[in-house]
Amino acid sequence: MTTVSPANPAAAPRRASRWRMLLWQLLGLLLLLALWWLVTDVLRLYPPYVFPSPRAVWTEISYGLWGTGPQDGKLLAAIGNSLRRVLVGYAIAVLLGGLVGLLMGAWRLLRETVGAYLTGIQSVPSIAFVPFAILFFGLNERAVLFVVILEGFIPVALAVSGALMNVPPALRIAGRTLGASGLGLTTGVLLPSAVPSILTGLRTAWSFAWRALVGGELLVSASASLGAQLEIGRNTANMALVIATILIIGIIGGLFDSLLRALEARVRRDYGLEVTQ
């Protein structure tokens, strides 16, 4: 991801320590798998319909992702649908959140009214909005999207307005002195300097949106989705499918998060906010 230039003297040891960390992480994963295998296959502490073995979960994953039977590949289809939904919802949430954040940053009245409400709404778990969304939109994709957008746009809006507020006054004054004002000042001076904080907001928004998506899909399980897979696994006493789906949800969520995290780190370094030893 981040290419290390040979000119950087700290690069070699940093790369070495990164590999060592990866090794530790791998070891931890193996340990966890071994423990899981021990509890289920060896000690049989739980019946398989309560806690299935790693092998059973792997079977579900392999059937669901690259199986070739007539009923196989359902997890893959679910991932496709869920990703499409979250990306659409997230994109709308970022645009909407950005707009609301800009307005709040520029207008104090809005910041102190709407901003306060948004903070309140943010503390309500997304799943609480699902019944409302179902009544409003019906048992369909729009209800799920509504919850995703609602959850996603708030952290973006708060991050954008907060970041705009935290721009050092010197920059603002310098911008004014150089002739920028109004929208020009916001887009040309304030926004660029607020990028690192905004990125943090985007990352929070991602994890909120992803969680809201799965919660929404769980309750509105009309079409193929990760949430529906959880529900089907539950309904058919297939705990292996439930765990397989949970793992996939975690892996996808984590992957996107680390992608955004890398972007954030890169930007923070470029902005001189991260001190490299």
Residues near another protein (CB under 8 A): 47-50, 63, 70-71, 74, 77, 134-135, 138-140, 220-224, 228, 231-232, 234-239
Cβ partners under 8 Å of residue 207, min gap 6: 253, 257
Q: Rounded to the nearest whole angstrom, what is the least distance from the CB of residue 139 to another protein in the complex?
A: 5
Cα separation, 48 vs 51, in Å, equals 5
The nearer residue to another protein, 12 or 135, going by C-beta atoms, is 135
Where does residue 272 fall: left (phi above 0), alpha (psi -120 to 50 degrees), or beta otherwise?
A: left
Cα separation, 133 vs 146, in Å, equals 7
Q: Rounded to the nearest whole angstrom, what is the least distance from the CB of residue 79 to another protein in the complex?
A: 13
Half-sphere exposure of 180 (CA within 13 A, CB side): 15
The nearer residue to another protein, 207 or 223, going by C-beta atoms, is 223
The nearer residue to another protein, 87 or 139, going by C-beta atoms, is 139
Query: Cα angle at 175 between 173 and 178, to 5 degrees?
Result: 110
Q: Rounded to the nearest whole angstrom, what is the least distance from the CB of residue 144 to another protein in the complex?
A: 12
The nearer residue to another protein, 231 or 264, going by C-beta atoms, is 231
End-to-end alpha-carbon separation of the chain, Å? 20
Contact 115, 161 (CB under 8 A): yes
Q: Rounded to the nearest whole angstrom, what is the least distance from the CB of residue 235 to another protein in the complex?
A: 4
The nearer residue to another protein, 185 or 220, going by C-beta atoms, is 220
Cα separation, 215 vs 207, in Å, equals 12
Backbone dihedral angles phi then psi of residue 275, each to the nearest 5 degrees: -95, 120
The nearer residue to another protein, 80 or 184, going by C-beta atoms, is 80
Q: Rounded to the nearest whole angstrom, what is the least distance from the CB of residue 227 to another protein in the complex?
A: 11
Helix, strand, or coil (residue 19): helix
Q: Rounded to the nearest whole angstrom, what is the least distance from the CB of residue 101 to another protein in the complex?
A: 34
Q: Rounded to the nearest whole angstrom, what is the least distance from the CB of residue 47 to another protein in the complex?
A: 6
Q: How far is CA 187 from CA 164, 191, 225, in A?
A: 10, 5, 39
The nearer residue to another protein, 57 or 190, going by C-beta atoms, is 57
